[in-house]
Chain A
């Protein structure tokens, strides 16, 4: 289990190699990469700035990762989330899950992303070609995606 919050880009191949190197218990590796879209609806964007809550972000992602490990037999997990100014096409987030079998790895990757999107304290601000900028609103569909994983472990909040 590992969580990293950092401004620099990540290398997916290198991250997989680091996670699986020297191990023979892993039979499935699933990765999800989120990238910056070049437009918000009809409106093109020139950059996206990611702010987060240092301290809570790491704590929240560690909680979500621990919950995934409690639900599925995972051999390894990694969450990398970039912060700062990003541009269309740039990587934003990487989730890797590894397990002996594919179902656990697929499901856990989706679970981690759904929970990350609705709980991890990140905020995105988009800048448009005319220089104007605005904070992105949270999407109801992201909350709904998280709701389907609801369990007693998370019902306290």
Chain B
């Protein structure tokens, strides 16, 4: 679903403009070239998959980082989500490789 810009102010807790923080970790961070940024998204970026496609078009470093979205994992506000997850209302979205702790 694509939220129309004029309906976003009705969502409790979200600001009218879809401005949020993006964070990158491990090799995603190294390829993008920075760890964190604030972005304002176009209204047609509705899902995590849409966002990765949009980011991949922002220049060479992003194209390299997001060349294979299937190997990138995503969290919205500190929760793991799948690529089809809606991003409406998100404050912070993070992209990273599959985790390797422990």
- Is residue A138 within 8 Å, beta carbon to beta carbon, of the partner chain? yes
Count of interface residues, chain A, beta-carbon cutoff 8 Å: 30
Known contacts A123-B26, A135-B27: A55-B78 contact under CB 8 Å: yes
- What are the interface flags for A103-142 relative to B under an 8 Å C-beta threshold, 1 for contact and 0 otherwise? 0000000000100111111111100000000011111001
**A123, B25: Cβ atoms closer than 8 Å:** yes
**A92, B96: Cβ atoms closer than 8 Å:** no
- Is residue A59 within 8 Å, beta carbon to beta carbon, of the partner chain? yes
**B101, A81: Cβ atoms closer than 8 Å:** yes
Q: For A124, what are the chain B residues with a Cβ–Cβ distance below 8 Å? A: 100-101
Q: For A139, what are the chain B residues with a Cβ–Cβ distance below 8 Å? A: 100
Q: For B23, what are the chain A residues with a Cβ–Cβ distance below 8 Å? A: 53
**A121, B75: Cβ atoms closer than 8 Å:** yes
Q: For B98, what are the chain A residues with a Cβ–Cβ distance below 8 Å? A: 137-138
Q: For B82, what are the chain A residues with a Cβ–Cβ distance below 8 Å? A: 157
| A122–B99 alpha-carbon span in the complex (Å) | 6
- Is residue B13 within 8 Å, beta carbon to beta carbon, of the partner chain? no
Q: For A56, what are the chain B residues with a Cβ–Cβ distance below 8 Å? A: 75, 78-79, 94
Q: For B25, what are the chain A residues with a Cβ–Cβ distance below 8 Å? A: 51, 53, 121, 123
**B102, A138: Cβ atoms closer than 8 Å:** no
Count of interface residues, chain B, beta-carbon cutoff 8 Å: 18
Known contacts A53-B23, A56-B94: A123-B100 contact under CB 8 Å: yes
Q: For B99, what are the chain A residues with a Cβ–Cβ distance below 8 Å? A: 117-123, 138
Q: For B100, what are the chain A residues with a Cβ–Cβ distance below 8 Å? A: 117, 122-124, 135-139
- Is residue B69 within 8 Å, beta carbon to beta carbon, of the partner chain? no
Q: Which of B23, B101, B102 has the most CB of A within 10 A?
A: B101
- Is residue B90 within 8 Å, beta carbon to beta carbon, of the partner chain? no
Q: For A93, what are the chain B residues with a Cβ–Cβ distance below 8 Å? A: 101-102
- Is residue B34 within 8 Å, beta carbon to beta carbon, of the partner chain? no
Q: For A100, what are the chain B residues with a Cβ–Cβ distance below 8 Å? A: none
**A120, B102: Cβ atoms closer than 8 Å:** yes
Interface residues of B in 44-102 (CB under 8 A from A): 75, 78-82, 94, 96-102
- Is residue A52 within 8 Å, beta carbon to beta carbon, of the partner chain? yes
Q: For B75, what are the chain A residues with a Cβ–Cβ distance below 8 Å? A: 53, 56, 121
What residue in chain A is nearest B92 (Cβ atoms)? A55
Chain A residues within CB distance 8 Å of chain B = 34, 50-53, 55-56, 59-60, 81, 92-93, 113, 116-125, 135-139, 142, 157
